[in-house]
Amino acid sequence: AKHVPKAKGILIISAHWQSRELQLSCTGRHEIAYDFFGFPSELNTLDYRAKQSQELTELIEKQLKVKKLTYSLKQRALDHGAWSVLKLAYAEANIPVAALSLPSYTQMRDYFKLGEQLKELRSSGILIIASGSATHNLSLLDKHNRHQAWAHDFSHWLQKNVAENNYQ
C-alpha cells in the first residue's frame, strides 16, 4: 500500500468469488469468511473490519450501468482471497472496500473487456485489486514446500506471454 497513492476506495476481485454474472457486494460492514482449511488455527482468529460506503457502491454501480454491464447486489462475506490481501496492505481497514465477483466467462477477451470497462474507476481514486494466483490446486500442494514443475512451467509461460503482450 505504501507504494501506491492513497485510494478513496478499493474494488477487490477475488478468484474465490466466481459467479455466472457480475455480483457486487452490498453497502455496510463486511463480515469475513474463513473459507479455507488445513492451515494454522491462528488464521481463523484474524479479523478485518472493512466497510463499504454508500458512496463507493454508487460510484461502482454508475460505472457498471454506463458500460451496460448486468450485475446484481449480493450480501456476502469477504473471502480469504480478499480479506487476507487487504489485511496485509491496509491493516487499519480505513478505506471503503467493495467486492466484485469474477464472472464465469468462456473467452479471455471478455475478461480483458471487463478490465477495460472498470479501469475508469481509477480516475475517481478507486484502487482495483485482482487477487488470485496463476496456479492454485491445494490437492496437489506439496507439503514439503517443493515447487511443482508444472506450476513453475505454467507461471513462467504466463509471465513471458504477458510481458510480451501476447494475449492470444
Gap between the terminal Cα atoms of the chain: 32
**Which residues, at least 6 apart from 2, have a Cβ–Cβ distance to it below 8 Å?**
none
Q: What is the pLDDT of residues 45-82, one digit of tens each?
A: 888 999 999 999 999 999 999 999 999 999 999 999 99
Measured CA to CA in angstroms, residue 99 lies from 13, 28, 140, 143 at distances of 6, 12, 28, 31
Whole-number Å distance between alpha carbons of 158 and 160: 5
pTM of the model: 0.87
pLDDT in tens, 134-158: 777 666 666 666 677 888 899 899 9
Instruction: For residue range 90-102, list pLDDT tens digits in order.
Output: 999 999 999 999 9
Residue 27 CA: distances (Å) to CA of 56, 58, 96, 152, 156: 8, 9, 10, 39, 39
